[in-house]
Structures are given as C-alpha cells and as structure tokens.
Structure 1
Amino acid sequence: MAMAMANGPAKLRKTNDVTIKYGQRLLPQVVDTFAAEEPDYILGMMPKPGANSSVPIDFITLSTSQLSNAINFMSHWLDRTLGKSNSVTGQTIAYVGSQDFRYLVMECASIKTGHPLLIPSPRNAPTNTASLLERTNCKIVFYSGLFGEQKDSISEFVGGLEFFEIPSLEEITLEKTMPYPYTKSWEEAKNDVFLILHTSGSTGNPKPITLTNSFMRRMDCEHIIPPVDGRTLASLDLCRPGTTLLLGTNFYHLSGVAFTVSALFHRYTVIAPPADRLLDGQTISNIFKTTEVSGAALVPSLCDSVFAERGEEIIEHLRSLEHINWLGGPLGHSTGEWIIKNLPNVRLWQIFGSTETMMIPMLIPPKSHWSYMEFHPKIGPHLELVDAEEGLYEVVWRRHPDLNFAWTTPVFDFFPEEKEWRTRDLMRKCTDTGFENCWKFESRLDDILVLHNGLKANPVHIETRLQSHPILKGCLVFGEGYTACGLLLEPKRSDIASEKLIELVWPAVVDANALVPEHVRVARNLVIVASPDKPLVRAGKGTVVRRLTTRLYQKEIEETYR
C-alpha cells in the first residue's frame, strides 16, 4: 500500500533549551543525535544465548554509540554489496534473521541508503515469503542465523533471488566505521518508505503493508497527546527517559518495531527477548530477579505465566515496576486481579490497535475496571452502534477536523481518499454507574461464529477464560455451520494423554460455560486436543489465527460432530 500524508503544523517543545519538532523527526537523525549527546547510554539489553536458567542473567548490551556505528557500518556494507547508483537506490531488499538488534540496524541502514526494507516473518511458510518477495518486486534477501536453511525452499517458488548473510551483531557494533550522512529534511522524506511489513495471511497469502516516515511519526507524537485533567494517559510516555521496558514481542512484528523505535524517540532502554529461543515465564522471572524493570509489554499468555503462575515467587523483585501493558488479546481475569491486588502502585493498561491504526489513544482505566478501555475524549475513535439487541458498538475512525491532530489517524495515510475507516472491532459499553465511558472488547466481526440454526456465537469469552489455565498453551472455539460449539485445546506439554488433559481442564470449561449463553456452551464430547506436530497457527504477536487454525483442523472438527 502506498501512503500520502495529511499535513498539519508540527508541535514544538523545549527540552534542554533545544526546540524539538515532535512528529517531524527522522529516525536515523534521532539515533545520531542521541549517540552524540549520550554515547554510553544503554539503549538495549538482551539475555545472552543460553542465559535462561541461571540468576543473575548475563546480558548483551547495546549503547547508542554502538547502534549509530552499526547503522553506519551496515549502510556502507549495503553500498558495497549492492552498488551505489541511481539505478540501484530505491530497490527493495528483504531481511529475515535472528531476533536481535540487527533488525533495528537494518531498518535505519535501509533508510539511509534509500532501499525499502521488507521484513517477512520467520514463521512464514516458504510459499508465503515467496509471494511477498514477488509482490514487492524484491530480488535481494539478507539473512542471519537459521534462516539460511530456508534459502533453497524459497528459491523453488521465486527465481532470480540473491541471498547475502549479514555480519554478526558483535562485528557491526565494535568495528569503528566512518559516518554515513543522512541529511534529508522532513518535507523531503516524510513519504519515503520506512519499512514494509505484511498481514497475517489469515485469508490467503499475506499482503505487504508499506509504512512511511509519515506513518511512523505516530510513535514520536506520544509526547504531544493532549492531557486529560486528573487522568493518566495510557501511552508510551509512561516510558520515561532513563527507565527500562521489558519487551515480550518479536522484532519482525509491528509491536516490536514500534517499541524499539519509541525507545529512541523517548530515550528509554528496551530489554528484548533472547535471540536463541522463545521467551517464556521462567526467563522473564529471572530477568526481574537480575535487573530493575520499570515497565513490561507482554502478550496475555506471558502475563499469565509470569504474574499468575510465578507472581508469589518474584513479588519482591517487582518493586521497581511502574506499569504493565498487555497487547494481542484479552488478559486473563485471574492474572489481572493478581496484579491489581498485589502490585497496587503499578499502572495496568492495554495497547489496542492494529497495523493500520497503530496505538489508539486511551486513558488508564480505574483499577476497579482494569479490563476495560477508556478512549481519549478528544482524539479517540467513534463508537457506532451496530447491534442494538446485543448492545455491540463498532470502533470507527473518522478524519479529525483539526489538522493538528492528523497524526492520530494514521490509517488515512493508507487510504487517503477515505473519510471513514471501520475497524470491525466490536465493543460493549460498561453499564456500571459512573463508568459509562469504559468499554470492553467483545470480538471482531470476523470472530463471530454463525451456527447452523442461525444463532451467533462469540467464542472470545470462553477462550479468554481458558487462556490462563496453567497446562494450556492455547485454545480455540469452533462451530461455524454446526449446531453447537466445540473446543480445541493445545497443551503446553506433549506428555499428557488427551483424555487426561480434558479431565484436568474440564472444570475451567464448566466455569466458562456458566458465563455464556446456552447456545455457546461447549459439551465435553465436542472437546478435542491439538496434536504436537500441528500447533495452532499464530500471528506474529502470538495470537491464534482462527481461520487458518480451523482450516488446519478441519478433518478433526468434522469427525467430532459425527
């Protein structure tokens, strides 16, 4: 998708007697300025390979001067590898590799050298990555780590590809390099490509999504969200300069990109997941035991694993924690209640949005209603009633009438001709007196299951109640086109027999059934267990992709109803 920018006056603030144009800063220049002013500031930390079982954890660290040097190194390296000419500049390149700070380096180096950068998910099937390369006319793929093993598989689907392995993180940070100038102004670069990501591919091959500098300015504008008297903004402005944020998402997902970019704009330190394995509750617990953590941004399953399952063990190490935000789906009720009860000084909030909208501006809700969202009264979306019988409202974005707030609706950078964009996200208004501005996510329009008898079933309630179960990795309610709903369970361990797993989980299913209408309740004979060699299909942020998972288990689901 190409994007155009809606122009509006820049917001200016004074910091250390220097005027900063928030929303009009270009990331490579932000890096170099940060490095010049605070060269030894630790921007990033990451557990060393294998450092998950022992305390204290050993960290790899990245200073601002090392990051600036690495970007210059890779910029010169790209020029030597690809050539530097008008015919080469503008050529799309791709990078897939180890989950480390080389992602951030490649993002900035591609901007400096003028090469749009495509970041395919390492979890993609070779056909998916091949489709993205074709759609973006990309013939050059850079890689690191184990991705090199997939080169031949991808080449079977796309001809004429060239693959280059990039140098190690250690080499690019430590080898002193000449500066690589980047002198564009905001007006010159605002519509330049910042990065190319892609959709999850839940309805077919993933589609590329082109993000420009104009789109990414949303992360810089957290500084200038209008304050609301007596309230705390649910924004990355909570990540104050000099604090740390434990990041539980991947570098190749928009959330990972956004947090690392935000760290440069806001000058905080990112504690990233380990590069050699998936992040889990034990590793996070050991990080809390090793170093002071100011904030945490985690998917719900990791919040469950850390706070609900290990909270009592690590509570003495959580005293420095100021805020916890979750993203990617609803947070388990027991987990949220544990945080509210045991960490009274911690602000608990959620990030809600999409690739098209980025983070939706919100307020931190009252602790009594922590699971709700409260949208910013001036720059939030519209809530439009779409189902009066069920009391459901759809989140709708309309262009802000004040150009000063054009940055609050980045979706219209994607769709410059549109005046309205419907998210398909459904909300239910809180009915408690005094909390009418609080909203709870109900489902997406494409989540709703239409049963054979015409009744509509919302699967999210049961899935949310079960997601924090200690022996489950995930679950999915199915039933589209059938007369009753069924349940697919994915265990964390493969050594539990299916019937035993169902027996252990069934009391929680009974409790969840009590909270939903009769036609949504799951009968025990309609519960099946996922096979270890067929994990539930997940998007980059870790959420289960309903359509693809249902398709993967279509045969088992059909047999369940016989």
Structure 2
Amino acid sequence: GNRLMPVMVDEVAAETPDRVCFSIPRSTDLKAGFHDITFQTFANAINKTASFIEREIGRSSMFETVMYMGIQDVRYFIVLFALMKTGHKVLFSSHRNSVAGHTDLVKQTDCGIIMYTNGLSCAGIIEASRMETLCMPELDYLFDDSVHTDPYPYTKTFEQAKHHPCMVTHTTNSTGMPKPVIWTHWLLATTDAQRLVPDFDGRPTVWNKVFDSSERCYSGVPICDSAGIVTALVEVLLNGCTVVLGPPNNPTANTFEQVVTYGRVDAASLLPRTLEEIASSQTGLALLSRLKYVAYAAGSLSPRAGEILSRYTHLYSLMVSTETGSIIQHATDREDWQYMCINPKYNGIEWRPRGSLYELVFKKSNDLADVQGIFKTSLRSQECSMGDLYSKHPTKPHHWKHEGRTDD
C-alpha cells in the first residue's frame, strides 16, 4: 500500500523485462491479431517520452498541469508516467466533453500546455484556451527498442511523493460542466493497500484473488476516463495481468467478440451499455462463457441483461468513482451479480436509513487512512456521502444492491 506506480514499472522492467503488460491491436482489422508490449518496451517508451517532454518544455518543480488529448491507445499510460517523472501532472478530459467543458477544466487547473496525438483534432480547445502545444511521439518510435533510451528514473520515496498531485480527472456537476478531481500518489495507491485486507466470511477481496486469476483481461472502458486508466493500471501492476486494449472507438458487442476471438482474453472490464448489447447476441454470449469473470460499474445494468449474462460468466458489480477510487468489496456468488459484498470493518461506512433503503456514508478514520480513498480527495471532510441509495440482500449479510440516488 505504499508503492509508487512509476517506480513499480521500472522495477518490473529491470527484474522481468519480458513480462507482457499491454497487448494492442496490430491494425484496425482485429483479425490481424494483437501485439504484446513487454515491460522493458513500456518503460523505455515512458523514458523516451519524459526526455522528449523535458527537451521541449523543461521539468516542473510545481506540478504544472499538462492536458493530454489523444487517440485512445496505450500512450495514455505512457504520458501519465512520463509527466510524473518530469514533475508535471497530467489532465485527462473525457472525449465526451464539449469544447466549453474542456476549456473550463483548463482554466480551473491553470493549464497552459496541451499534448495531443496526430489524428485527433484539438483545434477548438487550442483556439479557445491559447495553450502551448506539443505533439506526442508516434507509437512506432516509442516501441522501437533499437532506439537507445537513457534511464529516466523517478527518484522520490513514497513518503516524499505521497501528497504530490500526479493526475487530474473529473466528475460532471449538476450544470453539466466538469469538476476537476486531483489524484495524488497516495490516492493511486489505495487499491494496493486494499489488497492487504483479509478474506471476509471466506470471501477474498475482488482486488486480489478474483482479479489475480486473469492472465489477459480486455479493458473495454474508455481510457480517457479515470475508471479506464486506474482499473487497467491495477490489473497490470497489482494483479500481474496483461491488459488487452481494443481499437480506440467506443466498444460494441462486435468489438468484444473480435477481441475475445483474436486477443486470447480470459476476463473483461466492460461498460454496462456493451453488456446490454452482448446479452442480445448469441455469438457474444457463447464467447462470454470462455471468460473467468466480467467486471462492470455498479448499478447500471438492466435486470434482464444481468440475468442472461450471469448464466454464461461470473459478473462482478464494482463501486468505483473519480472521488473515491475503489472501495473494499469481496467476491460475491454468481447469482448475486446485482450485489456488492461491502466490507463492514475496513471501509469506514455508516448505512443511514432512508425509508426502506440505506444511504452509504463514509466516516473518516485515522486507522483506515490508507484504504479510504474518499478522504484523500476530500481532505477536510469528516464524513462524505456519495448520494447513493442501497437495499439489503434478503438473506446474505453485508450484500448491498444499488437502487438509485438521494436526489432522484
């Protein structure tokens, strides 16, 4: 629970350089198969990018914000770590945001530089924000191991870097404009700390034994969003899994079918809307039965789709958010796909009755500081409600089903 991700990448690259971290499509036609990226190649790509950034804009001693707008490929992970190494913090703005939304985030985070990839138009943002621009190197160059790369180490210890900002993502507020959320290295390390929590009622946490069981997991969650970035990093660095990325467009049932067929995957993280499509596809369902599990964001899958899908694989409903990161939840039985088994002791949660339902409220506890992600973003709060309502499982204790919002 006190490890720094940029240091972990370099350590794995030194100890097991040929271990595969990501697998990416060889072309837009997924029948051409996937290209495995080793930790050595990934670490080299990060170092090349960090050196490039330092040459172009220098290092930062003040964690200046650099916006990254790119085609949704593995460069999101490369730029995240490269900017950590040069002392900056990256701003990831969802591709779904309007130009007004992007520029509002730029203002709120005092951002003066945008890094972009060829093939994605950022003209509107650049025009509206008057930012300095930097074009991200191409993948062919970054992954060419014959190009010499000097090491570019991240030299701080966890205690030194713990409270340093390293990434900005965002939620959407009631006006529809994005609200920035600053991630520190401590918040990024939350899931690592949660992996140390013991089994509960014989159930391991999903973050260790469940997700450790996969060798190749398809990430079908947009990587321009914090959920896509963080879950992929957890799988690669904590679960020892290879993350298989699909093409950069929005994942459909057809994309899922091709990735499973040609990408040799044995698990997946998917959006509820992709799962709804798969539930209506005989081909998709047949391929689903090859997977050890599918994880999805809680509360947004229709009962009809969930009932069908859970006949073919083990579905895990996850509670993750931009403000909390992950919480400690334990493995559920296959028929309880709608429920989350939420640890009553280590999350610091109070369940407050609201009619026949319960509101989830986090209560700050110094003893739980490492595993309570919410109080790493809401530093001054003593308690925090996410505004979500849950019902209890009729027979199983500590099993909760998301039912809606307090403001509905």
Matches within 5 A, 1:421-500: 421-430=384-393, 432=394, 434-446=395-407, 448=408
CA drift of 1:314 comes to 5.1
Alignment check: 8 A CA contact 2:60 2:87 kept: no
Partners of 1:58 and 1:247 in 2: CA distance: 16
Counterpart of 1:479 in structure 2 is none
Bigger relative contact order (CA 8 A; separation at least 6): 2
Determine if contact 1:57/1:287 at 8 Å carries over to the other structure.
no
8 Å CA contact retained: 2:59, 2:88: no
Instruction: Give the Å deviation of 1:201.
Output: 4.2
Moved more, 349-358 or 74-83: 349-358
Q: 1:84 to 1:296 in 2, by over 3 A?
A: closer
Q: Which amino acid aligns with 2:78?
A: V
Rg comparison, structure with higher value: 1
SS of the residue corresponding to residue 171 of structure 1 reads helix
* Separation in structure 1 between the aligned mates of residue 152 and residue 253 of structure 2, nearest angstrom: 40
CA contact (8 A) 2:34 2:263 kept: no
Q: Residues 85 and 299 of structure 1: is their aligned pair in 2 closer, same or farther, counting only changes over 3 Å?
A: closer
- Which SS does the other structure have where 1:231 is aligned? coil
Could you tell me which amino acid in structure 2 is paired with residue 445 of structure 1? T
Cross-structure match for 2:335: 368
Quote the offset at 1:57 in angstroms: 4.6
8 Å contact kept, 1:249–1:273: no
Q: What is the aligned counterpart of 2:26 among 7, 26, 48?
A: 48
Task: Name the residue aligned to 2:110.
Answer: 137
Q: Does the 8 Å contact 1:288/1:314 carry over to 2?
A: no
User: Partners in 2 of 1:413 and 1:84 — Cα distance?
Assistant: 26
Partner of 2:57: 82
Distance 1:60 1:301 in 2: 27
Partner of 1:341: 311
Q: Does the 8 Å CA contact 2:218/2:243 hold for their aligned counterparts?
A: yes
Partner of 2:133: 163
Decide whether aligned partners of structure 1 residues 77 and 256 sit closer, same or farther in structure 2, where only a CA change above 3 A counts: same
Residue 436 of structure 1 deviates from its aligned partner by: 4.5
Give the Cα–Cα distance (whole angstroms) in 1 for the partners of residues 373 and 327 of structure 2. 10
CA shift in 2, pair 1:155/1:293, >3 Å: closer
What SS class does the counterpart of residue 226 from structure 1 fall into? coil
- Structure 2 contact 59–87 (Cα < 8 Å) conserved: no
Q: Indicate the residue corresponding to 1:400 in structure 2.
A: 365
Contact 2:60 2:86 in 1 (8 A): no
Distance across 2 between alignment mates of 1:381 and 1:145: 45
Query: What residue is the counterpart of 2:374 in the other structure?
Result: 411
Give a deviation string over 1:215-242, Cα, whole Å, max 9, x none.
Answer: 1111322431221242242335422277
1:197 to 161, 169, 180: 169
Distance 2:400 2:85 in 1: 42
Structure 1 unaligned residues grouped into runs of 5+: 1-22, 449-562
Q: What is the aligned partner in structure 2 of residue 69 from structure 1? A: 44
Q: Secondary structure of the equivalent of 1:407?
A: coil
Whether the aligned pair in 1 keeps the contact of 2:289 and 2:312 (CA below 8 Å) is no
CA deviation after TM superposition for structure 1 residue 85, in Å: 7.0
Tell me how far apart the structure 1 counterparts of residues 82 and 213 of structure 2 sit (CA, whole Å): 25
Moved >4 Å (runs of 4+): 314-320
The answer on whether the counterparts of 1:195 and 1:212 sit within 8 Å (CA) in structure 2 is yes
Paired AA for residue 280 in structure 2: E
Return the alpha-carbon distance in structure 2 between the equivalents of residues 76 and 42 of structure 1.
24
C-alpha separation in 2, matches of 1:362 and 1:85: 38
Q: Percent identity?
A: 28
Alignment of 1:11-50 (within 5 A): 23-50=1-28
Q: How many residues align?
A: 405
1:332 corresponds to which of 302, 306, 311? 302
Match in the other structure for 1:172? 142
Instruction: Look up the SS of the partner of 2:191 in the other structure.
Output: helix
- Measure how far apart 1:95 and its partner are: 0.7
**Structure 1 pair 336/155, CA: closer, same or farther in 2 (3 Å)?**
closer
Structure 2: distance between partners of 1:340 and 1:118: 37
**1:115 aligned residue:** 88
Could you tell me how far 1:173 is from its partner in structure 2?
A: 1.9
Q: Does 1:313 align with 2:280?
A: no
Q: Which runs of 5+ in 2 are unaligned?
A: none
Tell me, what secondary structure is at the counterpart of 1:309? coil
Q: Show the counterpart of 1:154.
A: 125
TM-score (normalised: structure 2): 0.92
Which residue of structure 2 aligns with residue 209 of structure 1?
Answer: 181
Equivalence for 1:358: 325
Task: State the alpha-carbon separation in 1 of the partners of residues 174 and 27 from structure 2.
Answer: 33
Going from structure 1 to structure 2, the CA distance change for 1:334 and 1:72 (only over 3 Å counts) comes to same
Closer, same or farther: CA 132–110 of 1 in aligned 2, 3 Å: same
Q: CA deviation at 1:320?
A: 4.5
Shift in Å at residue 337 of structure 1?
Answer: 2.0
After TM superposition, the structure 1 stretch with the greater mean CA deviation from structure 2, 66-75 or 281-290, is 281-290
Residue 510 of structure 1: aligned partner: none
Aligned pair in 2 of structure 1 residues 316, 37: CA closer, same or farther (>3 Å)? farther
Corresponding residue SS for 1:93: strand
Could you say if the C-alpha distance between residues 208 and 226 of structure 1 is closer, same or farther in structure 2, counting changes exceeding 3 Å?
Answer: same
Task: Name the aligned partner's letter for residue 360 of structure 2.
Answer: V
The RMSD of aligned alpha carbons is 2.2
Aligned to 2:260: 288
- Residues 318 and 366 (structure 1), Cα distance of their counterparts in 2 relative to 1, 3 Å cut: closer
Q: How far is the alpha carbon of 1:318 from its aligned partner? A: 4.7
1:103 aligns with 2:76: yes
Q: SS at 1:199's partner residue? A: strand
Stretch moving more, 237-246 or 105-114: 237-246
Alpha-carbon distance in 2 for matches of 1:293, 1:26:
28
Q: Distance in 1 between matches of 2:149 and 2:44?
A: 6
Q: Distance in 2 between matches of 1:406 and 1:60?
A: 40
Return the alpha-carbon distance in structure 2 between the equivalents of residues 220 and 57 of structure 1: 35
Opposite residue 442 of structure 1, the aligned amino acid is E
Change (3 A) 1:34 1:385: same
Partner amino acid, structure 2, of 1:146:
G
The answer to which of 235-244 and 405-414 deviates more is 235-244
Q: Deviations over 1:519-546 (max 9, x none)?
A: xxxxxxxxxxxxxxxxxxxxxxxxxxxx
**Contact 2:214/2:266 (CA < 8 Å) preserved in 1?**
no
